[in-house]
Structure formats: C-alpha cells, structure tokens
Structure 1
Amino acid sequence: MSDPIKHECGVAMVRLKKPLSHYQDKYKNVLWGFQKLFLLMEKQHNRGQDGAGIGAVKLNMPPGEAFMFRERDNGRNPISAVVKKQMKLYNELLNKGTIFPEFPDTVKEHWPFGAEVLLGHLRYGTSGGYSKSVCQPYFRRSPWPTRNLMMAGNFNITNVDQLNQKLINRGAHPIFDTDTQTVLEEIGYHLDEEHTRLYHELRDQKTPTPEISHIIADRLDVGQVLRDAAESWDGGYTLAGMIGSGDTFILRDPNGIRPAWYFEDDEVIAFASERVALMTIFDKAAEDIHEAPPGHAVVVKNDASLHIHEITKPGKPSYCSFERIYFSRGNDPDIYRERKALGAALGEQINRSTKGDFGKSVFSFIPNTAETAYYGLIEEMNRLHRSNVKAEILKAHKNGSLDEEMLNGLMDNNWPRGEKVALKDIKLRTFISQEKNRVQLASHVYDISYGAVNPGDILVCVDDSIVRGTTLKQSIIRILSKTKPSKIVIASTAPQIRYPDCYGIDMSEMGNFIAFQAAISLLKDAGSTHIIDEVHEACVAQSELAPEKMVNHVKRIYDPFTAEQISERIADLVSPKNNGWDGEVEIVYQSIENLHRALPNHDGDWYFTGNYPTPGGYAVVNRAFMAYYAGRKGRSYS
C-alpha cells in the first residue's frame, strides 16, 4: 500500500501443557515458551507499530504468591523493549544465583515470565491515545484468582458509548479511554457474577473454605461468561484473555471480520492472528492450524483441556479482504496464491491500457508488498501474449504464409518486460512541521533504477491499494516520471476505497479518500452539488435512529458515475503539474467481481461497496459523512 495506512493489531498466546521442567529436559531451554511468544510477536510485527505488551499467568502458585504479570512499552522498538527488559531481569537473577535453569521451579518462583500461560499483543491504536497506559494487555486485578482478567485484542467496537452507559447504569465508573477498557470491564463484570454465584453455592454446601478457590477455578464456565458479556457488542474483534486461575480464551466476532488461528499438540496450545506465524514458529503444516470459528470462543481450561463454545450466533461471513490484499504476511500459502490471483485479474485492463504493445511496456511494482501481485500480473500478461502468438501462428499456417523468419519474429518480439523500477530508499522522519518541507521530504522516499525504462515506454506499476493518493501525487508519480515514459499506469489490486472502516483499520475520515474526492469533484463539475446537500440531510434525519434502521445514503455520492469515470478523475487529481513531464497518468482499479473471484473465502468488502456486516457500520458511515460536511477531522468511532 503506497499510502501510509498502518496495520491492524496482532495477538499471540502460548499455553504450555507441560511443566517448565519438560522443556528444560527436552530442549535444554526453560525459556522455550517465552521465546516462542517472542517469535510469534516478531513474525507478526507487520501488525503493530504503536506499542507492544506481554502478560503471564503462573499455574498453581501457593496462596499469597504473585501469579499474574504484565510488561508494556510504546517506544521505538516495543517488542524488543519488553522482551529485553525481562531478559535483563532474568540474567540479573541468574548472575545472583537466585534462579537456576536446570531447576525450573526457581525460574517459575522468581522470574515473572517463568509461566505456563503467556499472552502477547502488538498495538496499532484505532481508539484512545498512544501512551504506554493504553498499550495492551489490559489488567483487571483482584485477590481472587478467578476474578483476575488480562486481555488483549485486534478489534474495534462500534457501540462502545452504549456499552459504557450500560456499565454506568449498573453503578460502575468506567474509564472512558478505549474500547478495550470497556470490553475488559464488561467481561470482568460477568466474571465477578459467575465467581460470586459459585462462591455462594459452595459456601451454602458447607464446602471447606480452603477448597473453594480451587473448585471455583475448575467449575468456572468461561463460555457462559463470554456469552453474557458479548451479547450486545457490535464490531469486528479477536479477543485473547487470561484468567488468574489459568483459564484462557480467544473470542472471534460473529462475522469473522478479524482473523484468529490456533493449534494444539501434546506440548502446547498456541493462538495467533496469522496462520503462517504459527506454521513457522512451531514448524507446523497448514492443515495443522485451525481457524477459530466466527462467533465462537476457543477456551483452554486450567487443566489444559480445549473446548469450543458458541458465544454469539454466527452471522454472514464477512472476512476482511484487506487481510488478504495487504495486512497479513504474504508467505501464507493461500494468501500468496490469492495475491497472485489479484495481480492476474488486472490483466485484461492492463492489456487495454498498453494496447497490447508489450514490447514498449515495462511492468513493475510499488511498494514491495505488491511484489507477489506483480508476479501474478506478469504471468497473466505472458499468458495473453502466448495466446496471441499461438493465434498468429495458426492463422499463418492456415494461410500458408508461415516461414522461419515470421516464426522467429513472433517468438522473439513483444514479450512483457519486468523490471525493478522503484524502490523505497529510506523512511524519512516527518519531524519538520512545515507542510512544504514535508512534501519535499516525501518526494525522496522512493528512488528509481535509472535506465530500466526507455523514454517513450509505457510504465505499469502494481500497487496493493490506493487509499488517499497522497503518496502517489507527492512522491511516486513524480519520481516515476523522471524515466520519461509516455504513460504511467498505476494498477491497484484493490477496488476503489469509498467508505470508512470501523472494525480495526484506521480508514475513517471520508474526506481523505481519493475516490471520494474524485466523486465530489465530478459532482461539482456536473453542477450536481445538491446531491451532497441531500445526502447530508438524509444522514442528519436518520442520525437518531437505531443503527439497525440506518441505510448508507453516502452511496448516492457515487451513483451518478461509473467506476471508470471516477478512476479517470483520480488520475487527474494525482497527476503531477508543471514538473516538465507531459506524459499521461492512468489509474486502474480492481473490479469488485474480480476481487471476489480472487478471494473466494474473504468477501468482506464494506470499504469498497458500503455494505457493512454489522449495524454499527452504517452508524459510522453516517457520522463520517456528517463530519466531512461540517469540516470536522478525526475518527468517526470511539
């Protein structure tokens, strides 16, 4: 993605099924579980840049001993920071003779993360601020193990205001900083209720007091707690949690918007946001990794038994297509194949853009994450050319005009040519405040391979997606135009992004979308600005309705125009002016139909179509347009 849209959050959890002594004996590594957690986080580093945190639960600790721990950081390299801090403590304890790896119980007793249950989180903030205090996991403390809750997630809840009001109506005083805090308190409330119910039941049965805590831990119905808590949530979420008694869970939204994967063997149960991370770190095959079912929780009890509970009734599957287009790591076998398919699906449009003159065309990609799609496009262009050559040979053979010279010409000429044209030089820091200087810096983020493109060639560059178009205008097209092509074609593997996301991706300000800017520009040129006012009036009129009764009136902004007309206006908006290059810019977008063909199991497309999978999405798009109309900046969700 050429525009600097940050990634989603990521979660990782490791539940050791054996005591620490097993891993010391077998692997000569008492830190086996901790290191697996660290590696899982590193393999998902693409998912978070704002902060990181880790948590731990130690099983069967004696009464009075600490059993839950947490470390968080929001610095420059947060994963390394939290791990280095704990490893520094580990080595200090080792040097003092306080712990001995060959005696794992000493590590468990004295080192905070010498634990059987480990949770990791990579944060990209879509609500709250960016301080260390809002880094996850969040921790709800109690002297009772079964009332302690630590939680992290990849999610955004669209109706957090209503949930906070629900807490207030119970007499609670929630902290209004993030939806994570709201969800934590809601689960915590029902965890307290279940704990209290079990306590009174056992007390009334005259159960000896020292045994009550252990029995509550065994009987605690985590599935029912989550069922009660999640009853009225609206949004996309993958939540990972640990209870002080050792129970753990991962919970997925009913539409499967946010991803969650897990596996189990005889030594460990592990969870992650991306399948390939589990495959790589634990040396597993794709078929060993299971997807958490939408609307379900995968619960691991304190005895390491795994259970799957339906928490909310599963809805229509709406798996986020951006996970496949861009966010997730591309070395997952299915994602790699799908990204190639996305590139190949652009073939017919690119064939028209180049008029089939492959000999005078150069194919490339920008940024590096678009490389896999580029391979798919090149393969498709070669296929198209082979088909053309075959047709010419058959025609010449039929006419009796086929000879060696003609055959050599057909075989040797007009093949698609791929080059590494653009590359990211450095990530320049935007510490200079003046807008003019920021633009000048942006123009140097990318560099080109000089001589890779001949003057007059058509230069085709594949991009994952085009959100704001800012980087295209300020940097990419300017630098590509230095090669003096006759035409620059930017081909997006994603369709036009027209509507805000509210489920964990930071794409919420409607006025920032280049497709929306293009549609508004076309309306103004057509003298149809009354449509803008009418849409605003319709949004205001339904703003007090329940989200379930709302419709997406913003679609009317786009209705008068074809996708091609909007693409043409986008090309005009991002074309450099007065830079000495007089070539043409064309922007090619993936069609919705081809998107679904390339991603048959991930049809969540609300940011392209405006068809949201939950009622809260319609409330967000309504607020987003009203904010645009009023000139207000900022996210349109909590």
Structure 2
Amino acid sequence: MSELFHECGIAAVYHLPSDEISPLCPDQGIDHVSRLLPRMLLDIQNRGQLAAGMTSYNPDRKQLIDTHRDIGTVREVFRLSHRGKSEALMREYAGCAAIGHVRYATCGQDDRSYAQPFERHHLIKHKWFSFAFNGQLANYDELRDRLLADNDHHLARETDTEIIMHELSREMNGERKVPLIEALRNASKRFDGAYSLVMMNAEGEMLIARDPLGIKPLCYAIEGPMFAAASESVALLNLGFEPESIKSLEPGHAITISKGKFAIQEFAKSPRKAHCFFEWIYFANVASTLDERSVYVTRTNLGVELAKMEREDGRVTIDDDTIVVPVPDTSKAAADAMAFELKIPSREGLIRNRYSGRTFIETGNQRRRAAEVKYTPLREVLEGKRIFLVEDSIVRSTTMRVLLDRLRDRGGVKEIHVRVACPPIIAPCFYGIDMSTIGELFAPPFLPDGQLTEEAQAEMAVALGADSVRFLPRAAISRAVGLSGEQLCQACISGDYPTVGGERLYQVALDNCISGNEGRTYERRDPAISTT
C-alpha cells in the first residue's frame, strides 16, 4: 500500500508531586495515573485506528520508562474487553506519568515497530526518552539525506517520527545535560511542516509541544496536581477536567514538567497561524473544542452557509417530498442546520456500519469495497424523495459514487442533489492528511483554472451521477470557523502552502501531474515510508 497518511492523536497525563491527591486520580493512587491513558486514547480513537501505545514513568521501577504498543485499536491493544488481561497490563505499566498515541498509516500495517510511542534507550537517564508525534515534516527527505550523509547514522524505519527522534537525540549529545525545551528549540529550526508531540524521559521530565504555525491541534488542562494534554479537548473533558480549565496550547509553545514543576515556554517564534481547517470540517470529534472554537458549532455554521447558498441558487424545488440526508457521521450537524434553515426535514436515510472504519483512509479498490458496505440506505425514508445529500467533503469521490448508486438502486430516491460543506479539494496535503497526489483528487480535472463555476459543478454532477452538485466557497470556511483565511491552512483548497517545504512538494506534485506520473509526490523517498 503506497499511499501516505498519518492523521494521528497524542495524549499525556501527569500527577505532579503534591500532598494533595487529585479527584481525577484513579482509586489505586498516584502511581496508577497511567491508567487514565487508555481512556483518553479511546476519546481520540477517531484520529487513528491502526495502532496504539503508551509509555509510563515510575521512579520505583527498574524500567523507569516502559512502553506498551501494538497494532490494533485502543481496545485491542490494551485488552479492554478482557478485565483480567487489561488489569495485568495496567499493573505492569503503572506510573505517575504517561504519554500515548493512536495512529493511522498505510505502510507497515502489520509491523508493530511502527506503532508509537518510540522509545530510545540510554544509560544516562536524561537521554533515555520516549516520544510520540502527530503531523508530517514536508522536508523529511532533506533531513533524512543529511542525517545519513556521514554514514554514522542509521534509520531503522523510514518515518518522520524516527527523524525527529534522531534530531532530538543529536541535540542531547555531549556531557552537558540539555533541557528538553532546549533540545526542541534547536532541533525545530530544521523542521518544516506540522507537528504536535509528547515526550518523556527517565528522569520523569515531560515536554508537550505544538509547531510554530499551530497546524495540528493540541489542548491541555491543569487542576491542582493533575495535568493532562491531548490532540482534542474531548479527551480532557471526559477525564473530568472543568471546561474552563481546558485550553489550546499556543503555536510555537511547549509545556514542560521538570523537577515536578509545570511551565509553558516559547520554543519558536510563530510568524503566523495556519490551523488546519479540515480538523473542524472532518477529523475532530464533534464534541471537541479546538483553539477556542467548537467543532459542533462550526459544522452547524457550515449548514447555515449551505442553506444560504441554496436560497440564493433557488433552482431545486423544495416541497413536501424534499428532505435533507446527512452522510454519517461528520455531516450530521451541517445537514441538521441546513434543514432547519430551509424549514424541511432532516432524515437519517443512511445508516452507517459503525465497524467499517473511515474509507477516506483506504486505498482505491479497498475504498470502493468498504464504501459498498459502509452505509445502508433506508428505503422507507428515501423512496420517491428529492434529497439534499450533505457531505463534509469530496476528496477522491469513490465513496460518493458508490453511495449515489446505492441511494437510487436500494433507496428508490427520485432526485439527489449533493451539497458539500467544503470547497473542492484541488491540491495535496503535505502536513498529515492522506492526499499526496493531484491525480487521485476528484476536483482538479474540472477546475483547470481553479475557478468553481456553474459549468464545472454541472460536469461534476454528471461524473458522480447526481442531479446537481454544489460546493461551499472558501470564504464560507472562514465565516464558519470564525478565523480569517490568513489564520487557517487551506492549502488543499487553494494551493497556497504556509511553509517552504509544502510549496516545494506542491511543485513536485504539479510536475508529476503534467508529466502523467502516477507516482505519489513522495516518490523520491523510500517506498517503505510511513509517517505517524
């Protein structure tokens, strides 16, 4: 499987030294705070279902930091369906601090060594650390080639994660003890791309950091002696933190815990913010709040934008046989809001198989087969209806084509008008989403000059098998999220990348597309590459 994707999730928890025992602490005591990690990872399971892992710290254990990781979902990796086995794992890895990770990827799927966190053993405690990462380095190939140029270094895996681990390790070389924040500050000067990371060493020091552009989300909370951080706020909220104590870490900043003391420090200047808009559109849990903006509210705002567009267009008849149908699950909030604004029913005419996973992250043939079993049309709801089918985005169109066929054949739908709560995806993502080439994307052939016209949307409707298709304009995204376009990364819908490395890879992608090269943009890398 040659596609590259790695929308992942990270988490961390720490009970700071204190005479006070946090009410969030497990009944077994401070040394068992690590038990909270699997619960947190379950709440961000939407960000990665391929592998999961945890590293815990316990100063009273021979293995000061110890890592458990494997292929599978959080429930599978931590044996949560088997009380005895799960309890044995929790006892073995009990600690007062822990970091964790959930992962998506396409390569090395059956290889446990790609699961995170990665642990680097060393005789010196401050150089013995564990590390997990969410993101993608757009200059991975440059860093790799530089690292291997002197023949003194070796990469066991072709991953961004291992590159970052080596770069941090190099900063720790020498006899002087280098604080984690200093190692990151120096190494980050060489990083181009998106990254949120968690790190912990055998002295019990912890670091949580967010890249200078804030492309990937990262939230944290501290109440009394209890600290926790995660890719999404829902993991902290469900842990028991009060909503007002949950905050987003500012771009270019890191949280450090050293000698039991909590601090927030800047490690890199933030020239601008470039939050990934796709987090609010699709990836994040609808219950999360990212950078003080609710995912649910954003998606309802998108539905309002869709309704506004429909009223202005006015070409689709709205009568008693017209309903709105969301493509489950991420489109439901937008569909409900659109229906409310148009004063027509929103009906769940499609039932999702909860165990099918996300076809967005499958490869071509697998994606089509998965799409065929992913949704079941309800003929009792759909037969003879004119429907507005609301989808959060169309990337490759495989799922949408299959879905439209099933709605007509199995659902008996009269008309299907596809409404997309996102502009057309016209460019690859080089910051951590599974879109590495222009050729795999649905929209670019219909938009040769990048302009979304009526004619282009009509051609797309024919290609999909819909009666009509409408996409939201880019300006609607800013209004819905509540951030200006300058504060969002919208590279995949604009072709404008916030980093030099992203711009360079986009030029490679354009050249490949013009030359008819079907290979992915990262072809210059080893075929085994897999990121987080």
Output the TM-score relative to the length of structure 2: 0.87
- 2:32 aligned with 1:74, yes or no? no
Q: Which residue is equivalent to 1:335?
A: 295
Task: Please state how far the C-alpha of 1:22 moved relative to its aligned partner.
Answer: 4.6
2:121 to 132, 136, 141: 141
What CA distance in whole angstroms lies between the structure 2 residues aligned with 1:21 and 1:337? 37
Q: 1:242/1:426 Cα in 2 relative to 1: closer, same or farther (>3 Å)? A: closer
Q: 1:179/1:441 Cα in 2 relative to 1: closer, same or farther (>3 Å)? A: closer
2:306 to 339, 343, 346: 346
Match of 1:153, SS state, is strand
What CA distance in whole angstroms lies between the structure 2 residues aligned with 1:365 and 1:85? 32
- Deviation per CA, 1:26-77: give whole Å up to 9, x if none: 8632375123111100011101011011101223x48xx32110111113x3
2:342 to 378, 381, 390: 381
Q: Which residue is equivalent to 1:413?
A: none
AA aligned opposite 1:145 = K
What CA distance in whole angstroms lies between the structure 1 residues aligned with 2:462 and 2:24? 66
Q: Which residue is equivalent to 1:538?
A: none
Q: Which residue is equivalent to 1:536?
A: none
2:469 to 583, 587, 590: 587
Q: Which residue is equivalent to 1:622?
A: 507
Match of 2:489, SS state, is coil
AA aligned opposite 1:234 = D
2:252 to 266, 284, 295: 295
What CA distance in whole angstroms lies between the structure 2 residues aligned with 1:86 and 1:458? 47
CA contact (8 A) 1:374 1:462 kept: yes
Matched length: 506
Alpha carbon RMSD of aligned pairs, Å?
3.1
Q: Which residue is equivalent to 1:370?
A: 331
CA contact (8 A) 2:22 2:224 kept: no
What CA distance in whole angstroms lies between the structure 1 residues aligned with 2:420 and 2:489? 18
CA contact (8 A) 1:53 1:79 kept: no
Task: Please state how far the C-alpha of 1:425 moved relative to its aligned partner.
Answer: 4.4
| Structure 2: tracts of 5 or more residues without a match | 526-532
AA aligned opposite 2:129 = L
What CA distance in whole angstroms lies between the structure 1 residues aligned with 2:365 and 2:150? 52
1:131 to 95, 111, 118: 111
CA contact (8 A) 1:518 1:573 kept: no
Q: 1:452/1:591 Cα in 2 relative to 1: closer, same or farther (>3 Å)? A: same
Q: Which residue is equivalent to 1:460?
A: 388
CA contact (8 A) 1:353 1:489 kept: no
Q: Which residue is equivalent to 1:558?
A: 449
Task: Please state how far the C-alpha of 1:276 moved relative to its aligned partner.
Answer: 1.9
Q: Which residue is equivalent to 1:509?
A: 437
CA contact (8 A) 1:74 1:130 kept: yes
What CA distance in whole angstroms lies between the structure 1 residues aligned with 2:19 and 2:76? 23
What CA distance in whole angstroms lies between the structure 2 residues aligned with 1:472 and 1:24? 47
Match of 2:11, SS state, is strand
| Structure 1: tracts of 5 or more residues without a match | 94-106, 199-219, 383-415, 520-556, 576-583
Q: Which residue is equivalent to 2:458?
A: 568
- Deviation per CA, 1:189-245: give whole Å up to 9, x if none: 11224xx124xxxxxxxxxxxxxxxxxxxxx53221111111110000101101111
What CA distance in whole angstroms lies between the structure 1 residues aligned with 2:429 and 2:51? 22
What CA distance in whole angstroms lies between the structure 1 residues aligned with 2:25 and 2:207? 27
Task: Please state how far the C-alpha of 1:138 moved relative to its aligned partner.
Answer: 0.7
Q: 1:515/1:373 Cα in 2 relative to 1: closer, same or farther (>3 Å)? A: same
Match of 2:275, SS state, is coil
CA contact (8 A) 1:9 1:48 kept: yes
AA aligned opposite 1:133 = S
What CA distance in whole angstroms lies between the structure 2 residues aligned with 1:132 and 1:148? 21
Who wins on radius of gyration, i.e. which is larger? Answer: 1
Task: Please state how far the C-alpha of 1:145 moved relative to its aligned partner.
Answer: 0.5
Q: Which residue is equivalent to 1:174?
A: 154
Q: Which residue is equivalent to 1:597?
A: 479
Higher RCO (CA 8 Å, separation ≥ 6 residues) = 2
CA contact (8 A) 2:305 2:476 kept: yes
Match of 1:120, SS state, is strand
Q: Which residue is equivalent to 1:96?
A: none
Q: Which residue is equivalent to 1:187?
A: 168
What CA distance in whole angstroms lies between the structure 2 residues aligned with 1:265 and 1:563? 52
2:263 to 288, 303, 307: 307
Q: 1:339/1:132 Cα in 2 relative to 1: closer, same or farther (>3 Å)? A: same
Task: Please state how far the C-alpha of 1:82 moved relative to its aligned partner.
Answer: 3.2
AA aligned opposite 1:9 = C
CA contact (8 A) 1:358 1:417 kept: no
